Structure formats: C-alpha cells, structure tokens
Amino acid sequence: MAAGGVSLFARLPICGQRSQVLRPIHRLLSGPGTVAADPRREEQSLGIAETGSEDRTPKKRFSEVQKERREQAQRTVLILCPNKISEKKFLKYLSQHGPINNHFFFESFGLYAVVEFCQKDSVASLQSVTRILSVGTEAAIPFRSRFFNLKLKNPASQTSEQSDIPCSSQSPPSNKKLFELLCNAESVDDQLNTLLKEFQLTEENAKLRYLTCSLIEDIAAAYFPHCEVRPFGSSVNGFGKLGCDLDMLLDLDEIGKSSAHKNSGNFLMEFQVKSAASERIATQKILSVIGECLDHFGPGCVGVQKILNARCPLVRFSHQASGFQCDLTANNRIALKSSELLYIYSALDSRVRALVFSIRCWARAHSLTSSIPGAWVTNFSLTMMVIFFLQRRSPPVLPTLDYLKTLADAEDKCIIEGHNCTFTCDLNRIKPSENTETLELLLKEFFEYFGNFAFNKNSINVRQGREQNKPESSPLHIQNPFETSLNISKNVSQSQLQKFVDLARESAWILHQEDKDHPSPASHQPWGLAALLLPSVTNSVSHAKKKRKKPASERVKNLLESIKSSGTENSTNTSGKRTVSTQA
C-alpha cells in the first residue's frame, strides 16, 4: 500500500465541506446512488465501511425508491428567483399555499429554488394565483407548468432586506480540488472512497433529476394522460456522477392497464386506437410529437433534437434550468430493468460503487470514454466489466445474475419482449459477500485482470459470471444481460480496446511500482489513484514500453510538471498532452 504522500498540491488550502442546504432535514428517501442526510446511512452510501457488506439495515427496492421519489417530485416546484431575495420572506410567501417540507437553492444561469410542499394541493393553489405574461412583442404560449418566475413587486424597497442565499452545488469538484483531496488521503482505499464522495449525486441533485422528469411528464401528459416519465440509467442506478446525463423513459403502459380489472359482465370495453405498422414505428411517432411539444411549448427545454432512426429512438434536449442534458426514450423497458439490476449490484457491497466510480474517472481521464458516441467503450460497458470482475473474485464480491434469478419469487417474474428479465427485486434476500479484499487490492487486480484478459476469444457474461467463448468477432464482447444475443460493446474498435488494455497494464504497473517504492510524503508526488488519473504516457504499445524503462516516480513527476505548466484544466496543453479530465 502506498504511503499517504504530501503532493505538490498539498500546500493549497482545502475548501470547506459542501454546505448542507437542504432544510429542514428531510425524510430520507435516497437509494444507494445519492449522498444521504442521515450520517449512518451516509457512511453506507459513501462506501466508508472497509470491506464486505456489513450493512444489515433493510434496503429499499428500486421500485419503492422510484415511487417515493416520483410522488415527492409531484409536490415540488421549480422557481427562478431574483438574484438576491430574503429567504425568510420567500418561504413565508409560498407557505400561504401550504406547509413546505423542504427547499434548496442552486445556481444555473440564475438563482433557482426547488420547493417541496407537504401536499400536492399546494402546487395547484400556487398555480391558481400565477399569471402568464407576454413580454414585449412576443406572444406567450399559455402553459400552466410547475416552473415559475418570481418577481419582486417593488425591488427598490426590498434591497435592504435581501441576503445571500446558500446554494447547493450541482457540479463535481474541480480537478485541482480532487487532486488535493486524493493526495491528502490516508490510503488508496481512502482515495477511492473520497472520489466517490465527491462525485456521487447529492440528495439535491437526485431530487432535481426526479423533478425534471416530473415536469416533462406534465408536458407529455397533455397528449397521453396517465403516462409516466421515469428516470433510468446512471441517474438512478447508483453509479451516477454529478454532471451525468438524465435518461428518461416515457412509459405509456399504465394508460392501457388502468381499468382492466373493472370490466365485468358479458362485455369487454376497449379503446378505439390508431395502430402503427410496428412497435418501432409507434415509438417513433410518439416521440416525434412529444419532441415537437417540448420544442414549442416546454418551458426551459432547449436544443431539442429528434434522433428517431437510432437503434433506440430518442429525443435529446437540454433542460436549461437544471442544466441536465436529457435523453427521452419510449418503449425501452429493458433499459429500466438494467438500471434496476445495476441498482442492486451497487447497493449490495460498499466497495462496488467506489470501484466503479474510480474506474469510470480513470477511463475518462485517459479519454477511453467520451460524451460523444463513437468506437470507444461506454460507461455502461465499463460498469459491466467491473461487475464481472467482482463476480470472478474468490470468494466472489458480487453474485451472478443467474443466482439472483434463483432468489426470485412469483412477484419478481418479468418477461419483456420475450426476454427473461427475472431476478429478485428484494436486496435483503441476497447474502452478503464473504470476500474481505481491500479496495486497493481490487483496483490493482482489476487492471491486472483486464490487462491480461483474452479479449480475442472470450466474452464477458454477468449472467453466468464466467468467461465464455465469443459468439462473434467484435473486438470486445460483453453480453447484454437480458437480450443475450446482443453485445453491448459492439461499437468498440480494436484500437480502442488496445488502448484500454495498454492503460490497464500501465496502471497495474504504476500501483505495483508504488508498492516497491513506497513514495514518501516528502517526495511531493501524486500517488495511488491520483497518479493513475494523470495523463497517460501510453499512446501506443511501443511508446509505453519505452516509457516503462523510466522509474514511475520520475514519469509521474514529469507529467505533473506538464500539467502545472499548462495552467488549464480539461484541455490540451501546449505540448499536445492531455490534461486531466474526470468529468462525465
């Protein structure tokens, strides 16, 4: 294990902790993917427990968390406020409409407030006193949403009462801050837990994600009453980083279901409906009109793009107020089930999230992943690789999907489009792992394992938790856990895979070197995870081999100097080397 070195950054002052601005202390709804307000749950959530799954408190099902969050979001409003207001007066004004459960402020091209009422009626009451105003020559499109502007009636007279409002940050820490924190950590395990703590979704960010879905649902409901817009992907699966996109599913299944059991007597009633030639065409038509609707009438929805010919048709847009990049899909229930599976894996053992976050940050820092689609590995695939690796440990850290299927009861049975998506939804039925390996060891072993994996002949399979012969010739084959004939990493090119392998070997090598060298605190070098997040010297195998002849300490020091001299973050420096980028 590396000694806790004092880096070049160590002399910089460390900023205070993120201010807790959600108040009053709310009822805890968070799943494993968010920072929880309860200190004991926070420990579990942050993966502070050293090894294994010591947590014995009952864990919520994915569906329970989704239901509670959704209901909470329906009682919540989003308000664009004047830059400086009196928080006390603001709350007093709003509480005319009913008691407020909690609220927080955040900044995003203006000061916004998220206010959760105790009752849904309060929202209707607030809407009933709200006007729609056309500005100048522009004509307002009348839409009574839950997204408001708050104006001061007499700004001049209220200036003296205005005060600075504490704002909740919706962004991850800067690279500089992250490096300070990592270099000041006590161990590699501590580094991984620190990274998780800094990057995971906060309670406020999770609320904002559910609220955004709920606001989009209001718009979609104008066409399809009783539809649901549900978040999926990393926003809810436990692996979301601050700044990640917001994947949404327009769920129309509830519409047809609602009155099925009330049919009685000799007759059956059915709605008259129009039909499309296929499910795909129906999905494209529905998303097309919702896309138009968001574009023309959706408050705060900008840059709407309809990407209807993709394998999974979607509408992409930015939600300006929350700052989220949103991908709205429909008829995509398998993706929701994948999110539930990942939620379970993320919650089973405190080490899983810490390892996934670090590997994702490592991959991003070395441009192995990108926010642009292409021939590179995706975060989803990387997560599957970590899960597979953890299933391969002895004893395993995580169970296989087939094992989770054996724990399922009748209620868990789930077949989607002919694919068996059954597994237990009750986390409390799954026995904790007996594996007690440290995060440091797991990180090192992950790089060793995939640095030497026979990608040319083997497939990664989390359903069975063992390597299998590749059924086709894609460079990287990761079996889709539910649609088992599909490869989730079909897009990855041989050169991108090679880059991944080279970097994995390089990173394993750096960690092994540190074991030997034991960098001293006086050596002023980044160490452990911090060293792994530095720009790669491995642009090709030959380049890497050449570099390996130099001692790690010297290489890392040179790299650090190059970062310092570039003076920029997340960019290309003058020598053409990449600087650290850990943002999603």
Q: Which residues bind Mg ion (CB under 5 A)?
A: 233-234, 245, 247
Restricted to residues 309-348, the positions that interact with ligand GTP (CB under 6 A) are 335, 338-339
Residue 380: name its binding partner from Mg ion, ligand GTP, none (Cβ under 5 to 8 Å by kind).
ligand GTP
Residue 214: name its binding partner from ligand GTP, Mg ion, none (Cβ under 5 to 8 Å by kind).
none
The first and second tokens of residue 283, run together, are: 């999905």
Judged by beta carbon, residue 180 or residue 247, the one nearer ligand GTP is: 247
379 in contact with ligand GTP (CB under 6 A): yes
Which of 47, 173, 233, 313 is in the footprint of ligand GTP by CB under 6 A?
233
CB of 47 to Mg ion, least distance (A): 21
Which of 437, 560, 447 lies closest to 510, judged by CA? 447
- Please answer whether residues 293 and 219 qualify as being in contact, where contact means their C-beta atoms are separated by less than 8 angstroms: yes
CB of 414 to ligand GTP, least distance (A): 15
Residue, CB closest to Mg ion: 233
Residue 339: name its binding partner from Mg ion, ligand GTP, none (Cβ under 5 to 8 Å by kind).
ligand GTP
Give the contact letters, 94-123, x = binds to ligand GTP (CB under 6 A), - = no: ------------------------------
Give the separation between CA 532 and CA 248, rounded to whole angstroms: 33
Give the separation between CA 242 and CA 33, rounded to whole angstroms: 11
Q: Which one of the spans 152-160, 181-189, 376-384, 438-446 is the region binding ligand GTP (CB under 6 A)?
A: 376-384
DSSP for residue 303: E
Beta-carbon contacts of residue 185 (< 8 Å; ≥ 6 apart)? 4, 191, 194, 528
Q: Which one of the spans 104-112, 203-211, 234-242, 403-411 is the region binding ligand GTP (CB under 6 A)?
A: 234-242
Give the DSSP letter string of 89-142. Answer: HHHHHHGGGS-EEEEEEEESSSEEEEEEESSTHHHHHHHHT------TTPPP--
Angle at alpha carbon of residue 306, lines to 301 and 311, rounded to 5°: 130
Residue 433: name its binding partner from Mg ion, ligand GTP, none (Cβ under 5 to 8 Å by kind).
none
Q: Which one of the spans 140-148, 169-177, 232-240, 299-307 is the region binding ligand GTP (CB under 6 A)?
A: 232-240
Kindly report the backbone phi and psi dihedral angles of residue 544, in degrees, each rounded to the nearest multiple of 5, phi listed first.
-60, -45
584 in contact with ligand GTP (CB under 6 A): yes
- Please answer whether residues 564 and 534 qualify as being in contact, where contact means their C-beta atoms are separated by less than 8 angstroms: no
Give the separation between CA 276 and CA 464, rounded to whole angstroms: 38
Kindly report the backbone phi and psi dihedral angles of residue 212, in degrees, each rounded to the nearest multiple of 5, phi listed first.
-60, -45
The first and second tokens of residue 527, run together, are: 């160490």
Judged by beta carbon, residue 377 or residue 508, the one nearer ligand GTP is: 377
Amino acid identity, position 435: N
How many other CB atoms sit within 10 Å of the CB of residue 346?
A: 24
Judged by beta carbon, residue 224 or residue 380, the one nearer Mg ion is: 380
CB of 369 to ligand GTP, least distance (A): 7
Restricted to residues 389-408, the positions that interact with ligand GTP (CB under 6 A) are none
H or E stretch covering 243: none
CB of 332 to Mg ion, least distance (A): 12
Residue, CB closest to ligand GTP: 233
Give the contact letters, 258-297, x = binds to ligand GTP (CB under 6 A), - = no: ----------------------------------------
Amino acid identity, position 117: F
Judged by beta carbon, residue 324 or residue 509, the one nearer ligand GTP is: 324
Judged by beta carbon, residue 152 or residue 335, the one nearer ligand GTP is: 335
170 in contact with ligand GTP (CB under 6 A): no
- Please answer whether residues 188 and 354 qualify as being in contact, where contact means their C-beta atoms are separated by less than 8 angstroms: no
CB of 69 to Mg ion, least distance (A): 17
Which of 378, 433, 525, 579 is in the footprint of ligand GTP by CB under 6 A?
378
Total residues in contact with ligand GTP, by rule CB under 6 A? 17
Distances (CA, A) of 212 to 48, 219, 300: 30, 11, 10
CB of 340 to Mg ion, least distance (A): 15
Beta-carbon contacts of residue 333 (< 8 Å; ≥ 6 apart)? 249, 251, 253, 416, 417
532 in contact with ligand GTP (CB under 6 A): no
CB of 380 to Mg ion, least distance (A): 8
Q: Which one of the spans 124-132, 157-165, 240-248, 541-549 is the region binding ligand GTP (CB under 6 A)?
A: 240-248
| Four-residue CA torsion sign, 487, 488, 493, 497 | negative
- Please answer whether residues 203 and 22 qualify as being in contact, where contact means their C-beta atoms are separated by less than 8 angstroms: yes
User: For the chain, how many residues are written?
Assistant: 584
Give the separation between CA 322 and CA 315, rounded to whole angstroms: 17
Residue 584: name its binding partner from Mg ion, ligand GTP, none (Cβ under 5 to 8 Å by kind).
ligand GTP
247 in contact with ligand GTP (CB under 6 A): yes
Which of 43, 71, 87, 245 is in the footprint of ligand GTP by CB under 6 A?
245
Residue 335: name its binding partner from ligand GTP, Mg ion, none (Cβ under 5 to 8 Å by kind).
ligand GTP
Give the separation between CA 33 and CA 30, rounded to whole angstroms: 7
Where would I find the H helices in 275-366? 279-297, 333-348, 350-365
Contacts to ligand GTP by CB under 6 A? 232-234, 237, 240, 244-245, 247, 335, 338-339, 378-380, 480, 488, 584
